[in-house]
A and B are shown apart, each in its own frame.
Chain A
Amino acid sequence: SQQGEEDPQALSIQEGENATMNCSYKTSINNLQWYRQNSGRGLVHLILIRSNEREKHSGRLRVTLDTSKKSSSLLITASRAADTASYFCATEGQGFSFIFGKGTRLLVKP
């Protein structure tokens, strides 16, 4: 069963533009995490935001969390071609396991 659902499914932008992707989830969470996956490779952790946090920054990344709307957003500023990847949000499922969404495929054109 899907807990996190990313939107949009695909996003294409020019280098230098900002990219925003969203994640919606269904049940209460303790934290939400964002991961990046370059083509055909393992996932890399980007940011963890806890349920009592509203916003978190890491370099060019900004993550927000709205627990009342059960949604999160990931903003990548001043995008680069190297940001081309799939981005996934992950939330807790029932028990103590993780559930990943289907991801947003980001293409940054040089």
Chain B
Amino acid sequence: EAEVAQSPRYKITEKSQAVAFWCDPISGHATLYWYRQILGQGPELLVQFQDESVVDDSQLPKDRFSAERLKGVDSTLKIQPAELGDSAMYLCASSLAGVVYEQYFGPGTRLTVT
């Protein structure tokens, strides 16, 4: 069964350093989502792509976060510089085309900023 791949699974970084996460969605899925999840809370959408275009990045802290999906396939989320408050689980999900379809989630990247 096809799965969403994410790497790394765990990342420990010092504050002010740069960090990057990678996501490979299920083949054929046009929509890709990046979420941040703080322990004990629900996922919060950071950015949503439709193919290579950003559909929603209203909750993305653009002074330090950036995301790209250059060829409309895999995607990279970057944080520079990392802050202590960025410690969280970063989840990637994909769906066929938008919110009318179920989302398939990857295993996530757990980020710890020290």
Contacts and interface: CB of A to CB of B under 8 A. Distances in A.
A42 B91 CA distance: 7
Interface of B: 4, 33, 35, 40-45, 48, 55-56, 89, 91, 93, 98-108, 110
B45 A99 contact: yes
Nearest to A9: B40
A96 B48 contact: yes
Point out which of B33, B35, B42, B91 has the most chain A C-beta atoms below 10 A from its C-beta: B42
A35 B95 CA distance: 14
A33 B100 CA distance: 10
B42 A100 contact: yes
A97 to B, nearest CB: 4
A41 interface: yes
16 contacts: A31-B99, A35-B103, A42-B4, A43-B43, A43-B91, A45-B104, A88-B42, A96-B48, A96-B99, A97-B48, A97-B55, A98-B45, A98-B103, A100-B42, A100-B44, A101-B42
Nearest to A45: B102
Nearest to A6: B42
Contacts of A98: 33, 45, 99, 103
A77 B91 CA distance: 29
B107 A48 contact: no
B80 to A, nearest CB: 24
B93 to A, nearest CB: 8
A36 B104 CA distance: 12
Given A41-B108, A44-B105, A102 B56 contact: no
Contacts of B106: 42
B12 to A, nearest CB: 16
Interface string A75-110: 000000000000010101101111111110000000
Contacts of A92: 99
Contacts of A35: 103, 105
Contacts of B42: 88, 100-103
Contacts of A90: 103
Contacts of A68: none
